[in-house]
Chains A and B, each alone.
Chain A
């Protein structure tokens, strides 16, 4: 590992990562506020009215980015969990734990805004089709992970149990993503797709992408802030943490 240009393992030490996270945090926070501000303005005032759904469609500008983030954050958590199990790095589990509440939040937003959209457009708040059900399972996975890791006292065992849960649950992600293609669902197919041109006007598309980037920045900022707290709490007896607290920099 020492022959690499950057020694990544250096950053897996909380003592190194804590100040780095603190320096990165304000940048991502400001980016999130700016992008979501622009995105919301465009969602309400710039993006044109839809030809069929009228104004009600504007809810997708928060629904779709939230749904993307809910799936993507879970994949990132699975990545950290696997890394933690394989390399026994302390920071990995902390990263996964820092991401979980944001993931749960975005899953909830996706389900909630979807229900609000569904009532006027489909004529129902909720149906048990494959897309909606698998997304609800994702919310339960997030909540189960949070409950499991906080229920076990010993942090090493909590980390391992949580990591295993996340990795088992990762099979749900392709099911959510492809559910609209594999089965007949009430939920429509994806508008933005890697394999075909997106079926959306450019202004709408850019608005959605700006909102998505804003959600990314928010997620990173929230996770960094949370992981700093977790690091301090877990390493409260170590020299670096006590030194920081003594200097008033924590």
Chain B
């Protein structure tokens, strides 16, 4: 075996060992590396209820309620399997909307209401002009209307 082939093998071997080591470390730290817990994970008891943590998911459509007197808002965050009600006092980011993703930091309060200290909007990876979004939304509504018509009759 030539010297350079030895060096190449040594390098490849070293990188493979390093890669496996890192993979093992990351797998072991899986829980700590996630930035937030989903409502399902909270329902499964994975979130630390005695200290501050983050919850992330979609703001349920129709759940956002603003207090008349101050900046307090309440809404429900969902991952379409489980729901977590959230209460927050403060200014919401521009992209915060019903049906959109968000991440809140805070503690689980009394009655299972999450008391948020900070709310961030989580953006998705869709980029399109407003006309296209409107067309898609229209198509979606027509589609679901058709679905409703189709399913309501035989039932």
Residues of chain A having any CB pair with chain B under 8 Å: 48-53, 57, 60, 82, 85-88, 120-124, 127-130, 167-168, 170-171, 175, 182-186, 188-191, 199-201, 204
Contact = CB atoms under 8 A, between A and B. Distances in A.
A82 B11 contact: yes
Contacts of A200: 126-128
B129 A51 contact: yes
B153 interface: no
B107 to A, nearest CB: 18
A129 B128 CA distance: 26
Given A121-B95, A171-B19, A130 B33 contact: yes
Main secondary structure on A side of the interface with B:
loop
B35 A201 contact: no
A188 B125 contact: yes
B35 A129 contact: yes
A38 B37 CA distance: 43
B7 A51 contact: no
B73 interface: no
Given A82-B8, A182-B26, A189-B124, 9 more contacts: A48-B131, A50-B129, A53-B123, A85-B7, A121-B94, A124-B118, A171-B19, A184-B38, A188-B122
Interface residues of B, number: 42
Contact of A190 (B11, B125, B133): B125
In the A-B complex, the 8 residue pairs with the smallest Cβ-Cβ separation, listed nearest first, are A123-B93, A48-B129, A51-B133, A129-B35, A184-B34, A51-B130, A191-B125, A200-B127
Nearest to B129: A48
Contacts of B125: 188-191, 199
A123 B120 contact: yes
Contacts of B8: 82, 86
B35 A191 contact: no
A82 B15 CA distance: 11
A87 B36 contact: no
Nearest to A208: B127
B4 interface: yes
Given A87-B4, A123-B121, A186 B129 contact: no
